[in-house]
């Protein structure tokens, strides 16, 4: 009897168990090998896994049938799901909230959510060589193009595809070329041609400089060569200094970003309409197109519009186009952002934070507010450039039409007892609505009715 078998037998005896352990001659490292040696089914073999608790240090024993595998995380109550991701999958598959689904549908959504969660974890835990891949996936998602893998197999295939490194071909050493420059060329030369030619090395006739027999005479250095060598040396020193300064600046920028960005410890969950697959921060990116158009709009923001005129339904009222007092309609954005306090009410601290990215930089938004007549809560920051309403959100409440002749979007609100909103196209290509237009139009209508009343003969 081996020492290990003897120790197990004694332990069973002390525990009062009448069990006779069998010592197999064949190897029984796996459940299948044990079943073959004992001549029984695999499920009749009990296999065990012993783990130590990370905090308690206590041993935890898992026993299961031989054909089963132990999911340790599930065994101790860990779930691979996130409430925001569950809502996102529910909307994607059934166009309903998770709570409104039936039990079988909820089970299917949970399974899908778990697989997506694990595939995202594989991406999140990947190395630095996949940083560009993760950034590209996030940028695509913010524009409505979801290319995140939905299964672990897809995630592994994607990571493997972007792990291929380019084969660096060895560069042929140039040292040999410089070394051979001082060696004498032993090839023959045309003696007849060089008979009356002067060698610039020894100033004698009859041979070229690379076949000069006078080794004591050396070729004087060219002034241009010396100046070139000095210039190259100086450039190398300047490049070295610039490289050190650039590294210092990059380090400082990295520290500033780390200080300004939202820490991973902050809990933040975003609405289901734009789930970023980032469970520690809500992050949005303004597309580059609207960023460029905003620059054009900024250049013209202090130019007065043409005098009052009418062309179809397009009216200009002669007041300045103030970016902070107009509202832009964006068909690519997934969130609403306001900067003018006069258009919002009930300003409050948001439950989560929004980190808004654009070509102009990153802005952290911490407040939400309510716009009168608009059911969707909006983000609010007085430092934002302008007010933005997402077309995706406003069509959930009002009917929106587009007139290609007038190049304008019209939000139909009269059925709700409110005036319509007309978003005209600016020369920059953005569609804007100025609430002051509605006020000026109402004033002119009142003035017209007043003059009409006075002109009626008594």
If asked whether residues 102 and 43 sit together in one domain, one would say: no
pLDDT score for 347 = 92
In the block, residue with structure tokens 């959930």: 396
- Tokens representing 363 are 């802005």
If asked whether residues 305 and 362 sit together in one domain, one would say: yes
More confident residue, 271 or 210: 210
By three-state DSSP, how is residue 340 classified?
coil
CA–CA dist 334, 383 (Å, integer): 20
pLDDT at 302 over 50: no
- Which of 75, 99, 127 terminates a domain? The answer is 75
Closest CA to 439 of 262, 317, 341: 317
Residue 177 lies in a domain: no
If asked whether residues 340 and 443 sit together in one domain, one would say: yes
* 251-280: average pLDDT: 45
pLDDT at 310 over 60: no
Return phi, psi of residue 327, to 5°: -120, 125
CB 378 within 8 A of CB 307: no
Residue 384 lies in a domain: yes
- Which of 215, 231, 265 terminates a domain? The answer is 215
More confident residue, 18 or 398: 398
CA–CA dist 212, 295 (Å, integer): 70
Where does the pLDDT of residue 296 fall: very low under 50, low under 70, confident under 90, or very high at 90 and above?
Answer: low
If asked whether residues 318 and 387 sit together in one domain, one would say: yes
CA–CA dist 409, 412 (Å, integer): 10
If asked whether residues 445 and 320 sit together in one domain, one would say: yes
Residue 395 lies in a domain: yes
Q: How many domains does the chain have?
A: 4
Residue 184 lies in a domain: no
* 80-90: average pLDDT: 85
If asked whether residues 286 and 205 sit together in one domain, one would say: no
What is the SS3 assignment for 262-290?
Answer: CCCCCCCCCCHHHCCCCCCCEEEECCHHH
If asked whether residues 293 and 420 sit together in one domain, one would say: yes
- Residues 328-386: pLDDT tens digits? 998 888 889 999 998 899 999 998 888 887 666 778 899 999 998 898 899 999 888 88
If asked whether residues 21 and 104 sit together in one domain, one would say: no
Q: What is the mean pLDDT of the chain?
A: 75
pLDDT at 423 over 80: yes
If asked whether residues 336 and 387 sit together in one domain, one would say: yes
The residue ranges of DSSP E strands in 117-231, in sequence order, are none
pTM: 0.37
Closest CA to 374 of 348, 405, 408, 336: 336
pLDDT score for 223 = 55
If asked whether residues 446 and 337 sit together in one domain, one would say: yes
pLDDT at 309 over 70: no
- Which of 16, 41, 75 terminates a domain? The answer is 75
- Tokens representing 19 are 């069990």
Bridge partner list, 310: 315
What is the SS3 assignment for 36-82?
Answer: HHHCCCHHHCEEEEEEECCCCCCEEEEEEECCCCCCHHHHCCCCCCC
Return phi, psi of residue 299, to 5°: -65, -30
Residue 228 lies in a domain: no
- Tokens representing 348 are 């409050």
Residue 255 lies in a domain: no
pLDDT score for 202 = 83
If asked whether residues 297 and 421 sit together in one domain, one would say: yes
The domain of 198 spans 189-215
Residue 427 lies in a domain: yes
CA–CA dist 98, 425 (Å, integer): 39
The CATH number covering residue 68 comes to 3.90.960.10
Residue 374 lies in a domain: yes
Share of the chain above pLDDT 70, in %: 71
- Residues 93-120: pLDDT tens digits? 998 898 999 999 999 998 999 899 888 8
- Residues 179-198: pLDDT tens digits? 444 445 555 778 888 888 88
If asked whether residues 449 and 324 sit together in one domain, one would say: yes
* 228-252: average pLDDT: 82
């Amino acid at each position: 009897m081996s020492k290990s078998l003897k120790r197990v037998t004694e332990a069973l005896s002390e525990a009062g168990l009448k069990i006779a352990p069998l010592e197999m001659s064949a190897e029984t490292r796996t459940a299948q090998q044990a079943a073959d040696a004992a001549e029984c089914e695999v499920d009749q073999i009990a296999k065990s896994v012993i783990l130590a608790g990370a905090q308690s240090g206590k041993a935890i024993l898992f026993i299961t049938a031989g054909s089963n595998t132990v999911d340790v995380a599930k065994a101790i109550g860990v779930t691979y799901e996130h409430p925001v991701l569950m809502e996102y999958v529910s909307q994607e598959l059934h166009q309903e909230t998770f709570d409104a689904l039936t039990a079988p549908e909820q089970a299917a959504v949970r399974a899908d959510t778990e697989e997506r969660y694990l595939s995202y974890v594989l991406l999140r835990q990947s190395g630095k060589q996949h940083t560009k891949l993760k950034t590209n996936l996030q940028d695509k998602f913010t524009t409505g193009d979801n290319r995140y893998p939905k299964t672990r197999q897809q995630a592994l295939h994607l990571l493997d595809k972007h792990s291929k490194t380019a084969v660096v071909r060895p560069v042929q050493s140039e040292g040999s070329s410089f070394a051979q420059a001082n060696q004498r060329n032993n090839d023959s030369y045309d003696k007849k041609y060089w008979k009356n030619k002067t060698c610039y090395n020894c100033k004698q006739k009859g041979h070229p400089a690379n076949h000069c027999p006078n080794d004591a005479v050396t070729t004087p250095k060219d002034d241009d060569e010396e100046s070139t060598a000095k210039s190259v040396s100086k450039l190398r020193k300047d490049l070295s200094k610039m490289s050190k300064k650039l590294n210092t600046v990059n380090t400082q920028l990295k520290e500033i970003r780390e200080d300004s960005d939202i820490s991973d410890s902050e809990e933040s969950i975003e609405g289901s309409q734009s789930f970023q697959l980032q469970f520690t921060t809500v992050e949005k990116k303004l597309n580059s197109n609207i960023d460029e158009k905003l620059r054009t709009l900024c250049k013209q923001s202090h130019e007065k519009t043409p005098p009052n005129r009418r062309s179809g339904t397009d009216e200009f009222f002669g007041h300045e186009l103030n970016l902070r007092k107009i509202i832009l309609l964006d068909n690519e954005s997934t969130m609403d952002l306001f900067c003018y306090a006069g258009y919002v009410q009930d300003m409050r601290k948001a439950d989560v934070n929004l980190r808004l990215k654009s070509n102009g930089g990153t802005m952290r938004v911490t407040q939400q507010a309510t716009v009168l007549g608009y059911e969707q809560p909006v983000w609010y920051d007085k430092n934002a450039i302008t007010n933005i309403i997402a077309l995706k959100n406003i069509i959930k409440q009002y009917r929106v039409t587009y007139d290609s002749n007038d190049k304008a979007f019209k939000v139909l609100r009269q059925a709700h007892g409110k005036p319509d909103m007309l978003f005209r196209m600016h020369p920059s290509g953005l569609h804007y609505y100025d609430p002051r237009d509605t006020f000026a139009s109402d004033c002119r209508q009142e003035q017209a009715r007043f003059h009409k009343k006075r002109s009626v003969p008594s």
